[in-house]
Amino acid sequence: MKMASVDDADRVSMLVAALRQHCGPGDARPHVVKAPGRVNLIGEHTDYNDGFVLPIAIDRSVIMAGRCRPDRQVRVYSVDYQQLNEFSLDDIAVDNVMGWSNYIRGVLFVLQNEGYELGGLDLAVTGNIPQGAGLSSSAALEIATADMATALFDLKIEPVDTARLAQKAENEFVGVQCGIMDQFVSKLGRKDHALLIDCRSLEYRHIPWLSDQVRLLIADTRVQRGLVDSEYNRRRQECEEGLQALSKVLPGITALRDVSISQFREHAHLLDPVVRSRCRHVIYENARVLEAVAALESGDWVHLGQLMYASHESLRDLYEVSCPELNAMVEIAQSVEGVFGARMTGAGFGGCAIALVQERALENLEEAILRRYPEMIGRDPKLLRTGVAEGARSWLWEDQEALKGGN
């Protein structure tokens, strides 16, 4: 079985050494869990409207090593923060000092609340997903924790439920009202496939990425996503307002997902202008996701790229969650020959843009961004090439063979 790449082997060895150093040598064989970050190809701000999304897992991840303890204590060592965090499973509270531990605490809290029986844990964790860049490092940490508990305590949890429970931890324990996309793709992504998720039924389909000549570049604006929480919640409210108003003339709708484009055209005049723009984005974005799936399935990269540009414009002008830095990235990408499409990805207000680009044009694109972005914005960007990676996996540390395979 191919579980991890050779690079991962070094990360895992370091992690197991950290586990032994900070939590004691221990007899038990550690389990290892790897959970990736994500970018969303298209379908932004649709998940909490019961709509469609099309993310991929990226080859940046959180890796966790862990083993059982005989008591009810949890000890977690973060290699990146060089901090040890300790708590009891019988009293899981929010930690205001070591904020990173709340994603782990939250997942264990939710698992216990749902009736899963846990015991004490020693954990060590590290990650190479840039934090605060909108690449879902927190969702990856949540999924890693849930999968670690599943492996160590032999819990019976369906993969979709793992995503749901991790989202619940973020909503109810960490206090961020995110949708389910990030946790879902971190758990269920598949190598060389995008993941179409129906965020109402939670049905999903893996869509093959048909060409190794078409690449994805992640362009980090390096703008901290300052407004993201308050504006995110405000957008959710505006969608809710739109839904309420439309449900007066369209009885039976329970989410913007239920409103067709023709119904929207007929009734849009009933909405307040700002709410109308928000709804227009969501309703057309859902349609774009389904078109994007067809484009991906037929290898029509040109059309997929056009849909990505259209999505970006809609997020910029109608949903108003872009920013000058993200717009600059898209503008630069658009000017480079061989780029099919580009857009902001994730919640917005900073973070990353993605570009879909022909392999042969990748270096030109990188050069253009590295040269022009600082001229336009006055700061250096960060670029990450990414493949389309596998979702979360867990294995036993002794399983050395697994570390030799590619992933």
Enzyme catalytic residues: 182
C-alpha distances out from residue 233 to 135, 228, 229, 282, 335, Å: 19, 8, 6, 15, 34
Least CB distance from residue 40 to ligand GLA, whole Å? 6
Q: How far apart are CA 182 and CA 166, in angstroms?
A: 10
Q: How far apart are CA 108 and CA 251, in angstroms?
A: 40
Contacts of 313 by beta carbon, 8 Å cutoff, 6+ apart: none
Residue 65 CB burial class (10 angstroms; 0-12, 13-18, ≥19): buried
Q: What residues between 196 and 255 interact with ligand GLA by CB under 6 A?
A: none
Residue closer to ligand GLA (CB basis): 37 or 66: 37
Least CB distance from residue 49 to ligand GLA, whole Å? 9
Instruction: Report if residue 182 touches ligand GLA, rule: CB under 6 A.
Output: yes
Q: How far apart are CA 110 and CA 171, in angstroms?
A: 10
Supply the DSSP symbol for 346.
S
Residue closer to ligand GLA (CB basis): 18 or 181: 181
Least CB distance from residue 404 to ligand GLA, whole Å? 34
Least CB distance from residue 136 to ligand GLA, whole Å? 6
Q: How far apart are CA 257 and CA 197, in angstroms?
A: 13
- Each residue 125-164 as x (binds ligand GLA by CB under 6 A) or -, in order, gives ----------------------------------------
- Each residue 21-60 as x (binds ligand GLA by CB under 6 A) or -, in order, gives -----------------------xx-xx------------
Residue closer to ligand GLA (CB basis): 181 or 223: 181
Residue closer to ligand GLA (CB basis): 194 or 361: 194
Q: What is the dihedral of CA 49, 352, 228, 346, to 10 degrees?
A: 10
- Each residue 340-369 as x (binds ligand GLA by CB under 6 A) or -, in order, gives ------xx----------------------
Structure tokens at 185: 């793709």
For binding to ligand GLA (CB under 6 A), which residues are involved?
Answer: 44-45, 47-48, 178-179, 181-182, 346-347
